[in-house]
């Protein structure tokens, strides 16, 4: 029997179809690995051990009965703790929601459940998805499987670490400014941010509603396509959900990427880019050019403003969305308050962490009387210009490529006291959220210290299939190992 936690999602599906193993064996192997390794990684905040075993036994019976199996049948998944799973905690990595039990499933969770997926547990994250290192969690930082002294990225760091350490077959994350793609790059896995509106946000705890998107975090591009297909599509419960049809699963790899024209933004080669990151990207592009793929320079002239625009819009929306946490309706509530105002003040002072407070204050300031037009309105105008930059570029090329991050994963504590430096970790990713475009990070190399380097592919809106086709070709050319050290070894 193969080492079950090390299989890809596609390999797992194939094994089930041949009845080489059954769901209860797969789930037990993953739970055993979680028990052994999660204390060091802190990737999971909660593990659904009994529930996962019960679900697996029910699927064993279905497998024995024969008949068609769905693409997610018996697949063990991890869920970022910003998504509601009925009857379980949804903390968002915050003391503010520590006692909250979700009364319903998020729409994407329901879709996966209906297709036979098994949920192993909830993963750690930066509080309310605000961070780039998963150090802002109220429940301690997650560590990178490639080096326990390093961050896994954020805010979906727990999901990224769980996939990289084979503590699940795949995971769900959320991406507001890079929170799927940046940790995917840091942990040597594949991470997809779909087009805005492609996946329903119903049941996702909001950070910035015009930027947030749910997406898959997997071991391969093929796995990302399978999981994307399973969760994508219109949902009447989400008024921003697109009615555009999702291509059939087999069509997601129907294009020949060798005919693509690729754009390389000249503005992305900025001061501060690590030399090994630059070299890995250029080496990969050289391999693609060797296959006859045309790579040309494109310009995204408003790139220098993207990070500033992102942090005005995102914090403004966060200020509005997080106003609901007042100690009255649900979640944490301060005790012994003598007035409603004191209740609000004490609840928010104790319930929110430093980074969340910082962003609420920034957003409140940007929206305040006398500053709205100077900050939020101007940011919204520049946001439109950023989208127009991409639109013009895609008139010339089929996809755009870039580094995912300017550096390999940094050390725990290295940037936590310098928020401006931390914010620059998302310099290549946040423009896509502003423009609503799909982007995918995949591993292309390892540094001399063995740390992962990620490459980002960007496609026009609703053209995710270009990412999967090109991603699979790049994987064939680079074939970087995704395993971490010492987390690439089986559990005895």
Average pLDDT value for residue range 431-450: 96
* Token pair in block for residue 22: 């059954």
Alpha helices in 66-154 (DSSP H): 107-114
With a cut of 80, say whether residue 20 has pLDDT above it: yes
Residue-by-residue DSSP string for 109-120: HHHHHHTT-EEE
More confident residue, 94 or 67: 94
DSSP 370: T
**pLDDT one-digit tens code per residue, 284-293:** 999 999 999 9
Q: What is the DSSP letter of 376?
A: I
Rounded distance, CA 57 to CA 39, Å? 27
Residue 44, in any domain of the structure: yes
Domain CATH number, residue 18:
3.90.1300.10
Q: 14: which DSSP letter?
A: H
CA nearest 258: which of 283, 223, 221, 295?
Answer: 295
| Residue 164 structural domain | 4-253
Does the pLDDT at position 490 exceed 80? Answer: no
Residue 462 reports pLDDT greater than 60:
yes
Q: 377, 115 in Cβ contact below 8 A?
A: no
Q: Is 336 left (phi over 0), alpha (psi -120 to 50) or beta?
A: left
Q: Is a pLDDT exceeding 90 seen at residue 430?
A: yes
Dist. CA 146–CA 187, nearest whole Å:
7
Q: Please say whether the beta carbons of 193 and 160 come within 8 A.
A: no
What is the tally of structural domains in the chain?
Answer: 1
Active site residue 80: yes
Q: Minimal CA–CA distance to 94: which of 325, 336, 373, 377?
A: 325
Task: Answer whether residue 208 is part of any domain.
Answer: yes
Phi, psi (5° rounding) for residue 142?
-90, 150
Using 50, 70 and 90 to split pLDDT, how confident is the model at 480? low
Proportion of the chain above pLDDT 90, given as a percent: 90
| Tens digits of residue pLDDT in 144-181 | 999 999 999 999 999 999 999 999 999 999 999 999 99
Instruction: Name which residue leads in pLDDT, 71 or 225.
Output: 225
Residue 223 covered by a domain: yes
Is 261 within the bounds of a domain?
no
Instruction: Note the pLDDT tens digit of each residue in 221-262.
Output: 999 999 999 999 999 999 999 999 999 999 999 999 999 999
Q: What is the pLDDT of residues 51-65, one digit of tens each?
A: 999 999 999 999 999
Report pLDDT for 68: 86
Band of residue 479 on the pLDDT scale cut at 50, 70, 90 = confident
Residue 197 lies in a domain: yes
pLDDT at 180: 98
pLDDT at position 486 is 54
CA dihedral 246→248→253→255, nearest 10 degrees, is -70
In a domain, 135, yes or no: yes
**94, 174, 179, 402: which one is catalytic?**
179
Instruction: Report the number of secondary-structure helices (H) and strands (E) in the chain.
Output: 15, 11
Q: What is the DSSP letter of 205?
A: P
Residue 390: CB partners within 8 Å, gap ≥ 6? 300, 400, 431, 435, 437, 458, 460
8 Å CB contact between 490 and 467: no
Look at residue 70 in the predicted model and tell me its pLDDT. Answer: 86
Which one of the listed residues 155, 242, 319, 402 is annotated catalytic? 155
pLDDT at 423: 87
379-383: average pLDDT: 98
Task: State residue 157 phi and psi, 5-degree precision.
Answer: -65, -35
Residue 94 annotated among the catalytic residues of the structure: no
pLDDT for 244 equals 97
Over 80: is that where the pLDDT of 361 sits? Answer: yes
Residue 481's pLDDT is what? 52
Over residues 363-375, the mean pLDDT reads 94
CB 159 within 8 A of CB 477: no
Q: By C-alpha distance, which of 219, 212, 241 is closest to 82?
A: 212
Position 96 pLDDT exceeds 60 = yes
Taking all residues of the chain, what is their mean pLDDT, rounded to a whole number?
Answer: 95
Domain contains 295: no
The answer to whether the CB of 82 falls within 8 A of the CB of 90 is yes
Whether 406 shows a pLDDT value over 70: the answer reads yes
CA 120 – CA 477 distance, rounded (Å): 33
Is 95 a known active-site residue?
no
Structural Rg of the chain based on CA atoms: 21
Is 30 a domain residue? yes
């Amino acid at each position: 029997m193969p080492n079950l936690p090390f299989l890809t999602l596609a390999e797992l599906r194939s094994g089930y179809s041949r009845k080489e193993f059954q769901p209860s064996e797969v789930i037990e192997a993953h739970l055993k690995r979680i028990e052994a390794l999660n204390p060091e990684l802190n990737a999971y905040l909660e593990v659904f051990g009994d529930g996962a075993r019960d679900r697996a036994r029910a699927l064993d019976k279905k497998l024995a009965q024969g008949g068609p199996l769905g693409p997610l049948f018996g697949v063990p998944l991890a869920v970022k703790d910003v998504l509601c799973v009925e009857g379980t905690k949804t903390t968002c990595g915050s003391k503010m929601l520590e006692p909250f039990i979700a009364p319903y499933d998020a729409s994407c969770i329901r879709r996966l459940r209906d297709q036979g997926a098994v949920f192993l547990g909830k993963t750690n994250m930066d509080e309310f998805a605000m961070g780039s290192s998963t150090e802002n969690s109220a429940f301690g930082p997650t560590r990178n499987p490639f080096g326990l002294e390093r961050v896994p990225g954020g805010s979906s760091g727990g999901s990224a670490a769980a996939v990289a350490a084979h503590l699940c077959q795949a995971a769900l994350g959320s991406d507001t400014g890079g929170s799927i793609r940046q940790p995917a790059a840091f942990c040597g896995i594949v991470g997809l941010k779909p087009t805005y509106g492609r996946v329903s946000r119903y049941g996702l705890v909001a950070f910035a509603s015009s930027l947030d998107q749910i997406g898959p975090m997997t071991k391969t591009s093929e796995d990302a396509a399978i999981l994307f297909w399973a969760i994508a599509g219109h949902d009447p419960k989400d008024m921003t959900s697109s009615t555009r049809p999702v291509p059939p699963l087999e069509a997601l790899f129907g294009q020949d990427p060798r005919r693509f024209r690729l754009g390389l933004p000249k503005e992305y080669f900025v001061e501060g880019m690590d030399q090994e990151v630059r070299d890995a990207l250029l080496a990969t592009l050289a391999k693609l050019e060797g296959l006859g793929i045309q790579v040309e320079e494109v310009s995204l002239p408003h790139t220098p403003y993207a990070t500033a625009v992102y942090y005005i819009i995102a914090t403004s929306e966060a200020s509005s969305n997080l106003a609901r946490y007042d100690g009255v309706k649900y979640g944490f509530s301060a005790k012994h308050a003598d007035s409603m105002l004191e209740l609000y003040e004490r609840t928010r002072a104790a319930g929110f962490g430093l980074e969340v407070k910082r962003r609420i204050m920034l957003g409140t300031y940007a929206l305040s009387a006398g500053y709205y037009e100077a900050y939020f309105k101007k940011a919204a105008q520049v946001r439109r210009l950023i989208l127009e930059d991409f639109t013009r570029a895609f008139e010339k090329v089929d996809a755009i490529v870039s580094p995912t991050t300017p550096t390999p994963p940094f050390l725990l504590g290295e940037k936590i006291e310098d928020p401006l430096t931390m914010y620059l970790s998302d310099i290549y990713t946040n423009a896509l959220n502003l423009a609503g475009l799909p982007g995918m990070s995949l591993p292309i190399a390892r540094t001399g210290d063995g740390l992962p380097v990620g490459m980002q592919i960007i496609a026009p809106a609703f053209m995710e299939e270009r990412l999967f086709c090109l991603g699979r070709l790049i994987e064939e050319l680079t074939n970087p190992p995704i395993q971490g050290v010492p987390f690439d070894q089986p559990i005895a």
